[in-house]
Amino acid sequence: MSGAFRIPGAGHIDRAQPLAFRFNSKSLQGCAGDTLASALLANGVHLVARSFKYHRPRGMFTAGNEEPNAIVQLERGPHTEPNLRATEIELYAGLVAASVNCFPSVDFDLGVLNRLASAILVAGFYNKTFMWPKSFWKKFYEPVLRNASGLGVAPDAPDPDIYDRLHWHCDVLVVGAGPAGLSAALEVARQGLRTVLIDEAPEPGGTLLQRPAQIGGIAGAAWAARAAAELDGLANVLVLRRTSVFGYYDHNYLMALERRTDHLGPGRAPGIARKRLWHFRAARVILATGAHERPIVFGNNDLPGIMLANAACTYATRYGVALGRRGVAFVNNDHGYALALDTQAAAGNLSLIVDARPAADPELARRAAGAGVRALQGHVIARALGGKRVRGVDIRTCAGTNAGRVECDHLLISGGISPAVHLFSQAPGTLRYDARLACFLPDRASQAVEVAGALNARLQLASALADGKAAAARTLAALGRAPAALATSAALTASSAASAGFVPPATVAATAAGTPAPGPVPDELHIEPLWSVQSLLGRKLPGKHFIDLQNDVTESDIRLAAREGFRSVEHAKRYTTTGMATDQGKTSNVTGLAILAEALGKTIPEVGTTTFRPPFTPVTFGALAGRDRGTLSDPVRITPMHAWHAANGAVFEDVGQWKRPWYFPLPGEDMQAAVARETRALRTTAGVMDATTLGKIDIRGADAAEFLNRVYTNAWTKLAVGSCRYGLMCKPDGMMMDDGVTARLAPDRFLMTTTTGNAARVLDWLEEWLQTEWPGLKVYCTSVTEQWSTVAIVGPNSRKILQALAPDMDLSNAAFPFMTFREGEVAGLRARVFRISFSGELSYEVNVPSWHGLALWQAVIDAGKAHGLTPYGTETMHVARAEKGYIIIGQETDATVTPQDLGLAWAVSTQKDFIGKRSFARVDTRRTDRKQLVGLLPRDKSFVAAEGSHLVASPARAVFDPASGSPSIGHITSSYFSPNLGSGFALALIANGRALRGQTVYCVRDAGPQPMTVGDPVFFDPEGKRRDGID
């Protein structure tokens, strides 16, 4: 037997499959088909949690996603997951769960001491209390509060599960597989449309599984199973179970979380993604998300055993669980009244219905009498009695007269409905307050969406089914399909659906925003609004009157907020924290704003709702990360030579997504020693670097030279074929954008190089100008970045090494001068060789098709052995270029730096026009106090400044004085130790820096200012003798 409170013969559970589980270290038994909540209730366990603030005993309050109380920690170790709702956890063998918010146990909880202080733990308590003294916050208040705050514990081990994502497009997406959603899905699916039906439950059916129902002579649950089977059999339909749509974004983009293996238990489906994040794009959407039932606020309305009426009905009907031996219901509407009677029909334990209205529907009243349930019309429950479980209720007439005390062990409440407008509102659709139904309903949609069922206030089964059909008909019409033309039977098989063919929907109609169903919403509720018994009776009643059970917000908190001037619902929400817990106020928001409206003397529509935002229910971080973790968290881009670098001990640097060798340490070397050795080799023998990552763009056409003239600051028309030139690119504001060397391959053909990180941006830039501003220019650009691998052979011995590899190439200065290129064979490979230099040394950059890159690299290494060739990485490249004062885009530049600031006026034409030229006539770009590039040498040669350090004019200014403003005169852009100089050195941008040459500035650091001497940015070989070789 799976619990003393199991109703014999009732429920859609499998009694033949008992499942053992543990809750708070106690061994219990449930059945396959149970949730953790239903299994606990079947065992008579109501007390499952302590509340967040006052640590009051709490029990299951709902049977679904709106649960505010039954928050548990599921499983232990790496699989543990905090703050799950017991009402949604499917039971499996060996499940282990525990309460949160309690210490040492849910039965005896020390946090209950907070209750003694409850008089001061009111709205705004934290804001009011912990403001003073300021220094106490970090040391005292925060640690204590963090320790006292509740909810579960995050796992501290890596997540052992895998997660998945899938993008999916469809014609119609139906959210919710209750009666309305199922009937809508059947209609559209039978037309052969690509249909998706999503429901959070293990099986479609919704309320058909939760209440006794009959459709066409068969039981509701059987009808749902038959409909699901038909839909499953159609190849044009995807039915997703255990899947929650949590976000509704623009262009009918919806996201959902599928729980694929949680119901099996942790680790029982190896290799299968535990959860899948679905990304949907739907031509049209039908929302049939149902409605949440709403509580009524009265004294101690939070005791375990007090539950929403639809939850009680669900536990009895779906799970065959009675909530106790003697129940009372408290309602103000026919829907709740009927749910109470449905519960009685299954569980037979209801003794009394307390109805605040003068009269109920006569048919319902007859049913109550027939079922032996007494009904008290025009009465309310003023207070519940009990501690860890409700023991009874105090009843009064609506006039306030005491009407006695009734004993009970559970209490059903129904204060009306809150249609689940969350997704509709996210879309975003507007809501309207229906005073007759006392709820917010979907009003105007802004996307191609229809609503149906309880979301549309259709609470009766027949009306929900019809509403689903009607929504489907509107959907089909919008898609240009005649409804009911093919909808004859369930005999449409997968193959015939496929052969029915696909007619693309008319785009305009398909995306037109949906409208609410025509005609007035019928009243199937017959509610008399009752938010709070206190306010109905006009007097204070004993006990705590809770609105938000999860965040422990009471009616008096809301009234206090109103008194303190919080008039906006958004402010009152944040001040009181109503609806801000993990349940997002699904059972409390509307009640809270109704009471706020009353306190402010406004109507409910005047106060309005707070904003509904995704996610509708919480989403695991793992699911959001999906497969993008570990080595797949971001692409790692590598060059064809990468394997050699890795095998030869390279330490890699991340440059954008590229892995570039940073330096190649020999055994025992640290970075400093390796870089010192590499830079020495570069200057004395030879070095070799993988320069493959530089961007390369093939530019050709009759107007190619003219085009370069316009995008570069310097002149290009006269560049000879076979020659190269350094070029600067500016934005229209005159600020540096990119630089690089471009070679003229033919009169109408150039090869442009860009900086590594800017390759794609520069190509887009060139295309933008060609396509939008200068469509008349005959120029085509083609990216060839990865077509070529580039090996830079650098240093005094580079000519000898290249000569060994290219014996037929005349490498003499006369035949192959600086800033030219040659095509020929290098190491038996067809290559382009560029004589350019980023180090000031004699240097050749050899390009071969990338499939030969590794072979060329190996050949260069072999040929260089006799000549002291040393592989080097980006750090040595940086040191060598900085010694020469060569800039790096993004390091010496930051979108506020002009070529003139960098001392590159020589590369800016004063004759021709180019992008950015006009900006050089602006007053701002002509200021003499602009920051200018200079070199800095530290007085203490061992000092290497931190890049980004600020510079001040005197040591006294190194201490910030707010009165005199910023003392900074500039900052360091590049800083290294140079073995060649035997000193640290830096490049810096300093206001009017060129005029400060020879003067001392001070680098600001925590350890005290360091004096540095301003000088020319070229530290090494200022005459440039070395670029032609030194022998």
Partner 1 sequence: MASTERASPLAAWPARFAAASASATDFTIRELPFTTQINVRGNAADAAFAAATQAVLGHGLPAAANTWAGTAERAALWLGPDEWLVVAPDGMNESIVAALRNSLDGQHAAVTDVSANRTVIEIAGSHARAVLGKGCPLDLHARAFSPPQTAQSLLAKAQILLQCADIRPAFRLYVRISFAPYVAEWLIDAATEFAASRGLDAQRIAARLA
**Residue 569 C-beta-side C-alpha neighbours within 13 Å:** 22
Instruction: State how far Cα 199 lies from the chain centre.
Output: 22
Distance in Å, CB of 236 to partner 1, minimum: 8
* End-to-end C-alpha distance for the chain, whole angstroms: 97
Q: Which is nearer to partner 1, 112 or 777 (CB)?
A: 777
Distance in Å, CB of 857 to partner 1, minimum: 9
Residue 92 binding partner 1, by CB under 8 A: no
Q: Beta-carbon neighbour count of residue 966 at 10 Å?
A: 11
Q: Are 880 and 692 in contact (CB under 8 A)?
A: no
Distance in Å, CB of 716 to partner 1, minimum: 18
Sequence-distant (≥ 6) Cβ neighbours of residue 311 within 8 angstroms: 60, 61, 62, 63, 64, 87, 293
Q: Which of 168, 249, 774, 818 binds partner 1 (CB under 8 A)?
A: 168
Distance in Å, CB of 778 to partner 1, minimum: 5
Q: Which of 32, 122, 269, 655 binds partner 1 (CB under 8 A)?
A: 269
Give the binding range for partner 1 (CB under 8 A) out of 321-329, 418-426, 714-722, 821-829. Answer: 821-829
3-state secondary structure of 631: helix
- Determine phi and psi for 816, rounding to 5 degrees: -140, 70
Q: Which of 22, 26, 128, 169 binds partner 1 (CB under 8 A)?
A: 169
Q: What is the Cα gyration radius of the chain?
A: 38
Q: Which is nearer to partner 1, 785 or 932 (CB)?
A: 785
Sequence-distant (≥ 6) Cβ neighbours of residue 366 within 8 angstroms: none
CA 539/CA 355 separation, integer angstroms: 20
Give how many residues touch partner 1 by CB under 8 A: 62
Look up tokens 């990338």; give the residue: 850
Q: Are 1017 and 1028 in contact (CB under 8 A)?
A: no
Residue 268 binding partner 1, by CB under 8 A: no
Q: Which amino acid is at 725?
A: R
Element housing 49 (H / E): strand 47-50
Q: What share of the chain is helix, strand, coil (3-state, %, to 5)?
A: 30, 30, 45
Closest of 58, 67, 61, 64 to residue 413, by C-alpha: 61
Q: Which of 123, 185, 201, 238 binds partner 1 (CB under 8 A)?
A: 238
Residue 856 binding partner 1, by CB under 8 A: yes
Residue 653 binding partner 1, by CB under 8 A: no
Distance in Å, CB of 630 to partner 1, minimum: 9
Residue 634 binding partner 1, by CB under 8 A: yes
Binding track, positions 488-527, relative to partner 1; x by CB under 8 A:
------x-------x-------------------------
Q: Beta-carbon neighbour count of residue 209 at 10 Å?
A: 22
Q: Which of 785, 790, 839, 980 binds partner 1 (CB under 8 A)?
A: 785
Q: Which of 268, 613, 778, 939 binds partner 1 (CB under 8 A)?
A: 778
Q: Which of 9, 158, 271, 601 binds partner 1 (CB under 8 A)?
A: 271
Give the binding range for partner 1 (CB under 8 A) out of 235-243, 510-518, 711-719, 960-968. Answer: 235-243
Give the binding range for partner 1 (CB under 8 A) out of 354-362, 391-399, 813-821, 843-851. Answer: 843-851
Distance in Å, CB of 682 to partner 1, minimum: 23
CA 764/CA 738 separation, integer angstroms: 13
Residue 368 binding partner 1, by CB under 8 A: no
Residue 313 binding partner 1, by CB under 8 A: no
Give the binding range for partner 1 (CB under 8 A) out of 299-307, 461-469, 733-741, 853-861. Answer: 853-861
Q: Which is nearer to partner 1, 30 or 695 (CB)?
A: 695
Q: Are 453 and 205 in contact (CB under 8 A)?
A: no
Look up tokens 């009064």; give the residue: 396
Q: Which is nearer to partner 1, 154 or 494 (CB)?
A: 494
Residues belonging to the chain: 1031
CA 522/CA 207 separation, integer angstroms: 19
Q: Which amino acid is at 27?
A: S
No. of H helices and E strands in the chain? 26, 49
Binding track, positions 590-629, relative to partner 1; x by CB under 8 A:
------------------------------------xxx-
Query: Which ranges of 34-168 does DSSP label H, i.e. alpha helix?
Result: 36-42, 125-129, 136, 142-148
CA 675/CA 319 separation, integer angstroms: 71
Q: Which is nearer to partner 1, 757 or 849 (CB)?
A: 849
DSSP string, 527-555: ----SBHHHHHTS--SS--EEETTTTEEH
Residue 764 binding partner 1, by CB under 8 A: no
Q: Which is nearer to partner 1, 345 or 500 (CB)?
A: 500
Of residues 905 through 964, those in contact with partner 1 by CB under 8 A are: none
Give the binding range for partner 1 (CB under 8 A) out of 99-107, 268-276, 441-449, 547-555. Answer: 268-276
Residue 858 binding partner 1, by CB under 8 A: yes
Residue 236 binding partner 1, by CB under 8 A: yes
Q: Which is nearer to partner 1, 166 or 399 (CB)?
A: 166
Q: Which of 511, 568, 783, 1000 binds partner 1 (CB under 8 A)?
A: 783
Residue 746 binding partner 1, by CB under 8 A: no
Distance in Å, CB of 518 to partner 1, minimum: 32
3-state secondary structure of 312: helix
Q: Which of 544, 660, 852, 957 binds partner 1 (CB under 8 A)?
A: 852
> 626-659 b/e with 16+ CB inside 10 Å = b?
beeeeeeeeeebbbbbbebbeeeebebeeeeebb
Q: Which is nearer to partner 1, 183 or 639 (CB)?
A: 639
Element housing 462 (H / E): helix 461-478
Q: Which is nearer to partner 1, 260 or 971 (CB)?
A: 260
Residue 828 binding partner 1, by CB under 8 A: yes
Sequence-distant (≥ 6) Cβ neighbours of residue 336 within 8 angstroms: 293, 309, 310, 329, 412, 413, 414, 415, 416
Residue 237 binding partner 1, by CB under 8 A: yes
CA 286/CA 288 separation, integer angstroms: 6
Distance in Å, CB of 475 to partner 1, minimum: 19
Q: How far is CA 813 from CA 75, 636, 820, 868, in A?
A: 75, 40, 10, 22
Give the binding range for partner 1 (CB under 8 A) out of 299-307, 630-638, 813-821, 875-883. Answer: 630-638
- Label the pairing between strands 749-754 and 780-783: unpaired
Q: How far is CA 257 from CA 50, 236, 511, 886, in A?
A: 28, 21, 25, 52
Q: Which is nearer to partner 1, 278 or 816 (CB)?
A: 278
Distance in Å, CB of 787 to partner 1, minimum: 4
Distance in Å, CB of 155 to partner 1, minimum: 22
Residue 780 binding partner 1, by CB under 8 A: yes
Distance in Å, CB of 495 to partner 1, minimum: 11
Q: Which of 788, 838, 943, 1019 binds partner 1 (CB under 8 A)?
A: 788
Residue 700 binding partner 1, by CB under 8 A: yes
Distance in Å, CB of 825 to partner 1, minimum: 9
Residue 787 binding partner 1, by CB under 8 A: yes
Residue 285 binding partner 1, by CB under 8 A: no
Q: Which residues bind partner 1 (CB under 8 A)?
A: 164-169, 194, 235-238, 260-261, 269, 271-273, 279, 281, 494, 502, 626-628, 631-632, 634-640, 643, 658, 698, 700-702, 778, 780, 782-788, 805, 827-829, 849-856, 858-859
